[in-house]
Structure 1
Amino acid sequence: MTVVELVEYAPALTRALPDEIGRALAASRIVDAAPDPYLPGQWRLRAGSKVGALVLQAPGQGPFVLRITPKVPIARLFFLIGYALNPAVHREGEVDVTEQAEVLPALAHAYERALERALRQGVLQGYRHTEEAAFVVRGRIREADQIRRHHGRVMPVEVAYDEYTTDIPENRLLRAAADRLLRLPRVPGDVRRRLRHHQARMTDVEPLVRGHELPTWRPSRLNSRYQPALRLAETVLRGSSVDHLPGKIAVDGFLLDMNKIFEDFVCVALREALAPYGGHCTLQARSVHLDEENAVRMRPDIVRYGDDGRPLAVADAKYKAEKPEGFPDADLYQMLAYCTALGLPEGHLIYAKGNAPHAAHRVRRAGITLRQHALDLDRSPTELLSSVRDLAERIARGSHI
Structure 2
Amino acid sequence: MTPVVEIVEHAPAVSLALPDAVGRALAAGGILAAAPDPYAPGRWSLRAGSKVGSVAVGVPGTDEAFTVRVVPKVPVARLFFLLGYSLDPQGAWREGEVEVAEHRDLLPALAHTVERQVDRALRQGLLQGYRTTEESALVVRGRIREAEQIRRRFGATLPVEVTYDEFTADIAENRLLRAAVERLLRLPGVPGDVRRRLLHQRGRLADVTVVVRGQPLPVWRPTRLNARYHTALRLARVVLENASAEHAPGGLRIDGFLFDMNKLFEDFVTVALREALHGAGLTSRLQDVHHLDEAAAVRMRPDFVLYGADGVPAAVVDAKYKAEQRGGFPDADLYQMLAYCTALGLREGHLVYAKGNASHAAHRVRHAGILIHQHALDLDQQPARLLADIAAVALRMLPDLRV
How far apart in 1 are the matches of 2:235 and 2:93? 17
1:330 CA displacement: 2.4
- Give me the whole-angstrom Cα distance separating, in 2, the residues matched to 1:136 and 1:297: 57
Give distance in 2, aligned partners of 1:62 and 1:350: 43
Segment of structure 1 superposing worse, 89-98 or 310-319 = 89-98
| Runs of 5+ consecutive residues of structure 2 not aligned to the other structure | none
Q: Indicate the residue corresponding to 1:142 in structure 2.
A: 145
Within the candidate set 224, 232, 241, 1:229 is matched to 232
Q: What residue identity is the alignment partner of 1:391?
A: V
Moved more, 59-68 or 266-275: 59-68
Q: CA–CA distance in 2 between the matches of 1:52 and 1:109? A: 15
Partner SS, residue 247 of structure 1: helix
Change over 3 Å in CA distance of 1:371–1:237 after alignment to 2: same
Contact preservation (8 Å) 1:83, 1:90: no
Shift of 1:172: 0.5
Question: What is the CA distance between 1:356 and its match in structure 2?
Answer: 8.9
Give the drift of 1:294. 2.8
Amino acid at match of 1:113: R
Shift of 1:58: 2.1
**Runs of 4+ displaced beyond 4 Å:** 90-95
Instruction: Please give the residue correspondences for 1:200-349 in structure 2 after superposition, counting only pairs within 5 Å.
Output: 200-286=203-289, 288-320=290-322, 329-349=331-351
Output aligned runs, 1:31-46, within 5 Å: 31-46=32-47
- Taking the aligned partners of 1:252 and 1:354, their CA distance within structure 2 comes to 34
Counterpart position of 1:132: 135
Q: Deviations over 1:342-374 (max 9, x none)?
A: 111111111100499733222222221221111
Change (3 A) 1:95 1:130: farther
Within 5 Å, which residues of 2 pair with 1:48-63? 48-59=49-60, 60-63=62-65
**Residue in structure 1 matched with residue 370 of structure 2 by the alignment:** 368
The two structures have a TM-score, normalised by structure 2, of 0.93
For the residues of structure 1 that align with 2:257 and 2:358, how far apart are their CA atoms? 28
| Matched residue SS, 1:277 | coil
Partner of 2:164: 161
CA contact (8 A) 1:128 1:162 kept: yes
Alignment: residue pair count: 395
SS at match of 1:359: strand
Letter in 2 for 1:82: G
State the shift of 1:42 in Å.
1.3
Describe the shift of the 1:81–1:128 C-alpha distance in structure 2 as closer, same or farther (beyond 3 A).
same
Tell whether the 8 Å contact from 2:54 to 2:256 is kept in structure 1 after alignment: yes
Shift of 1:322: 11
- Could you tell me which amino acid in structure 1 is paired with residue 3 of structure 2? T
Check whether the contact 1:322–1:331 (CA below 8 A) recurs between aligned residues: no
Please state whether the residue corresponding to 1:172 is helix, strand or coil. helix
In the alignment, structure 1 segments of 5+ residues that lack a partner are: none
> 1: CA distance between counterparts of 2:219 and 2:167?
18
Give secondary structure in 2 for the equivalent of 1:114. Answer: helix
- One-letter code aligned to 2:192: G
1:58 and 1:202 mapped to 2: Cα distance?
33
8 A Cα contact 1:274 1:396, kept in partner: no
CA contact (8 A) 1:356 1:374 kept: yes
Pair 1:16-2:17 in alignment: yes
Matched, 1:392 2:358: no
Q: 1:231 to 1:158 in 2, by over 3 A?
A: same
Percent identical pairs in the alignment equals 63
Deviation at 1:241, TM superposition (A): 1.5
CA distance in 1 between counterparts of 2:308 and 2:132 reads 42
> Kindly tell me: are residues 232 and 57 of structure 1, through their superposed partners in 2, closer, same or farther at Cα, counting changes over 3 Å?
same
